[in-house]
Structure 1
Amino acid sequence: MEKETNLSILEKFQDWISRSTSLKLLVIGFIALLLLIPQALITDLIDERQTRLQETENEVTNKWSRAQTVIGPYLALPYHAYREVLSNGESKVVKELKTAYFLPDLLDIKGDLQAESLHRGIFNVVVYRGDLDLKADFSSIALEKLDITAEQVLWDQATFLISVSDLRGIGENPDLKLNNVSLVSEPFTDTQSNLRGLQFPASLDPVSKDFTISGKIKLKGSKEFHIVPLGKTTSLKLSGNWPNPSFQGDFLPEDRVLNDEGFESTWKVLHFNRPFGQEFINTLPNFLESSFGLSLKMPVDQYQQSIRTSKYAILIIVLSFLALFLMETFTKRRIHPLQYTLVGFALVLYYTLLIALSEQFGFSLAYLISSFATVGLLAFYSKSLFYQFKTTAIFTGILSAFYLFIFVIIKQQDYALLIGSIGLFVALALTMFISRKIDWYKK
């Protein structure tokens, strides 16, 4: 008799465990938290694949040519400076060789950037070939501003310089002319200002002091192109075949035209828009701080979007478990915690499928395929849980709405917070409305 009583108590305890709503909710919540562990591993996988993409980009650009920044042309004039020093109580005049730098009064650059995509394995890297037409007018060499006289200047040792951030991008000898006279180019490196590029030695007429540099440069680069506004008036006009460039730097274009065929953009920068003057002695300012231009990066980064999608994993898991629990409550079909776990694993595995497919087909198509496969799998599995087609169809529709909701948030970056907040409010309101008649103390 005592044995039967003990057995009855044990059976009642097991029955309470299997039917307790509160305990069931705690178990479901614990399962959802445990699923964050594999989800964190998947996030690490996405980070690893993104790092691999960056390594591939660096490898390709190191062999092709890196992002280019063009500074120039500007003029370097060596001159003799004299200063008085005391030596053994006697005053002596010492002659020193210094360099004066002059920036152009007018700098006009027209460029055409033809972008192409280089493939390395499953990754694509954007590179470009550019044709630059340069014109720089030095109409006033203001020696007096630096307290230099024309007699001090070594006019036959003048040099025009064009700094190029990566000299490997110069594919042909530049065709540059000084007042319609061709100049010979040589490489230079200025360790003091950390600039490198091309120099064009020239013998200048000290009487004229009106010089025009013009010509063409063919340049290769990758992802980004910038110039520095050296002229008192700097004009830049860029065109190319990349449909969606990103404009960067201290100055945005005054006019731009973007379409599927490419882009056209124009800038105009005046000398008082920048933080440096026109004349310098021996040292140059940090020109790179005032550079501007554009980026030709890939418009869709599947890894960045996959990471953003994975951040909503806990939301998808919780909402899916909530929908499954409510349907379990209304249909009186008891779902085992192991079955919740299997559903959770399918929801987590979705992100691995997403990142693998996005590397092959792009993010949008990968999202469609992954969502369709996951929702289809869970719909098939839920049929064995609920048996009824209507209940299975409702659960499938709810899951589809969840994934569509996340996709809209990912694509609408500017309104992601607004859409997400409204969506969660609606989900909470529907849950409260649907569950309002449930007697939580009944079980």
Structure 2
Amino acid sequence: MESNTNLSLLEKFQDWISRSTSLKLLVIGFIALVLLIPQALTIDLINERQERLLETEIEVTNKWSRAQTVIGPYLALPYHYYREVNSNGENKVIKELKTAYFLPDVLDVKGDLQAESLHRGIFDVVVYRGAIELKAEFGEIALGKLDITPEQVLWDQASFMISVSDLRGIGENPNLMLNNFPLLSEPFSDAQTQQKGLQFPASLDSVSKGFNFSGSLKLKGSKDFHIVPLGKTTTMNLSGNWPNPSFQGEFLPEERELSKDGFQSTWKVLHFNRPFGQEFSETLPNFPESSFGLSLKMPVDQYQQSIRTSKYAILIIILSFLALFLMETFSKRRIHPLQYTLVGFALVLYYTLLIALSEQFGFTLAYLIASFATVGLLGFYSKTLFSKLKTTGIFTGILSAFYIFIFVIIKQQDYALLIGSIGLFVALALTMFISRKIDWYKK
């Protein structure tokens, strides 16, 4: 008699477990939390692949040429500086060799950047070849502003300097002229001014009232191209074949024209727009801080979009489990926690599939394929959970709506918060409406 009673209590407990709505919700919530573990590993995988992309970019750019920043031309004038010192009670005059630097009154830059993609494995890296034309007008050299007299200057040792951030990008001998006379070039590296590039020795005339410097420079670089506005008036007209450049630096272009065939942009910067003057002695300011230009980036960063998509994983899991639970409740079909777990694993595996496919086909096509595969798999699996084809179709349609909703959020970055908030409000309202007749105290 006692064993029958115990068996009856055990059966009742098992029946309560299988029918308790509250306990079922707790179990489903626990499964959703456990699924956050593999989802966190998925985000780590995306970060790892993104780091591999950055390593590939560094490897390729180190062999091709890095991002280029052009500073110049500017004039370097060596001069003798005399100072008086007292040594053993005797006054002596010491002569030191120093360098004064003068910037142009007008700097006009015209450039054409022809970009291309270099492939390394499954990754693409953007590089470019540039043809840069420089025209600079130097007025009368303002020696007086630095307390230098013409007699102190070594005019025959003057040089015009053009700083280039990566000298490996210079593909041909520069063709540059001073007052229509060709100049010879040689590399330089100055630890004091922290500049490196090309210098063009020139023997100047102390009575000259100005100089015209002009010519062309062939450059190779990776992704970024910047110049520094050295002129009192600096203009740059830059064009290229890359359809979606990102304009960067301290100044944006006054005019820009973008098309599928490339871009055309124009800058104009005046000397009072920048934080430095026209004449310097011995040291130069940090010119790159005032640089401007553009970056030629790949149109789609699949890893960034994959990370954004994966951040919505817990939302997809919760909404999918909620939809499954409500359909279980109304169809009166019992779904085992293990079946919820299998559905959850399929939702998490989706993101690994998305990463792998996006590296081959791009994010948009990868999202379509991964979503179609996941929704199709869960749709067929739900056929074993629900006896009616109509119920299976509704569940499949709900999953499809979820993935379409997330895709819209990912693509509409500026309105992601607005669209997401409205979507979640609608989902909550539908859940409240559908579940209004459920007896949550039902044993």
Same fold (TM over 0.5): yes
Listed as ranges, the matches of 1:19-418 within 5 Å are: 19-418=19-418
Amino acid aligned to 1:37: I
Separation in 2 of the partners of 1:325 and 1:194? 66
Deviation for aligned residue 1:142: 0.4
Counterpart Cα distance in 1 of 2:350 and 2:7: 44
Mapped to 2, the partners of 1:337 and 1:326 lie a distance apart of 14
Aligned residue pair count: 443
Secondary structure of the residue that 1:387 maps to in structure 2?
A: coil
Say what the alpha-carbon RMSD is for the aligned residues: 0.7
Q: Report Cα offsets for 1:361-408 as digits up to 9, x if no partner.
A: 000000000000000000000011002111011101100010001001
In 2, distance between residues paired with 1:194 and 1:350? 50
* Structure 1 position 442, deviation (Å): 1.9
Note the alpha carbon deviations across 1:250-309, whole angstroms, 9 max, x for none: 000000000101000000000000000000001111101101100001121000000010
Matches of 2:322 and 2:150 in 1, distance apart? 85
Q: Name the structure 2 match of 1:419.
A: 419
For 1:440 and 1:148, the matched residues in 2 are separated by: 92
Q: 1:205, CA displacement in angstroms? A: 1.2
State how far apart, in whole Å, the 2-side matches of 1:116 and 1:181 are. Answer: 35
Q: In 1, distance between residues paired with 2:373 and 2:66?
A: 41
Cα distance, 1:207 vs structure 2: 1.2
The 2-side partners of 1:50 and 1:147 are apart by 55
Q: Is the contact between residue 105 and residue 140 of structure 1 (CA under 8 Å) also seen in structure 2? A: no
CA-to-partner distance for each residue in 1:160-185, whole Å, 9 max, x for gaps? 00000000000000000000100000
Distance apart, 1:46 and its partner CA: 0.6
Q: Deviations over 1:107-148 (max 9, x none)?
A: 000000000000000000000000000001101210111111
> What is the Cα deviation at residue 319 of structure 1?
0.3
Deviations 1:12-50, CA, capped at 9 Å, x for gaps: 000000000000000000000010111111111111100
Q: Secondary structure at the match of 2:135?
A: strand
User: Which deviations, in whole Å up to 9, do the C-alpha atoms of 1:39-83 show, x marking residues without a partner?
Assistant: 111111111100000000000000000000000000000011112
Which residues of structure 2 form unaligned runs of 5+? none
TM-score (norm 1): 0.99
Q: Secondary structure at the match of 2:436?
A: coil
CA contact (8 A) 2:156 2:204 kept: yes
CA contact (8 A) 1:193 1:284 kept: yes
Amino acid at match of 2:298: M
CA contact (8 A) 1:104 1:230 kept: yes
Whole-Å separation in 2 of the counterparts to 1:280 and 1:139: 16
2:148 is matched by which residue type in structure 1?
I
TM superposition shift of 1:90: 2.2
d(CA) in 1 for partners of 2:442, 2:72: 82
Deviation at 1:209, TM superposition (A): 3.1
Counterpart of 1:230 in 2: which secondary structure? coil
Identical counterparts, % of pairs: 84
* 83-92 or 20-29, larger mean C-alpha shift: 83-92
Helix, strand or coil at the partner of 2:429:
helix
- 1:192, distance to aligned residue in structure 2 (A): 1.6
Q: Is the 2:140–2:208 Cα contact (8 Å) retained in structure 1? A: no
SS at match of 1:436: helix
| Secondary structure in structure 1 of the residue aligned to 2:437 | coil
SS in structure 1 at match of 2:76: strand
Q: Which residue number in structure 1 is paired with residue 13 of structure 2? A: 13
Q: Which amino acid aligns with 1:388?
A: K
Amino acid at match of 2:382: S
Stretch deviating more after TM superposition (90-99 or 72-81): 90-99
2-side partners of 1:34 and 1:341: how far apart?
9
Matches of 1:440 and 1:98, distance apart in 2: 88
Q: TM-score if structure 2 supplies the norm length? A: 0.99
Q: Please, which moves more after superposition, 190-199 or 428-437? A: 190-199
What is the Cα deviation at residue 87 of structure 1? 1.9
Q: Distance in 2 between matches of 1:140 and 1:62?
A: 41
Distance 2:84 2:65 in 1: 49
Q: Secondary structure at the match of 2:77?
A: strand
Q: Contact 1:118–1:127 (CA<8 Å) still a contact in 2?
A: yes
The gaps in structure 1 that reach 5 residues or longer are none
Q: Tell me how far apart the structure 2 counterparts of residues 161 and 195 of structure 1 sit (CA, whole Å).
A: 10
Q: Tell me how far apart the structure 2 counterparts of residues 346 and 260 of structure 1 sit (CA, whole Å).
A: 39
1:199 aligned counterpart, secondary structure: strand
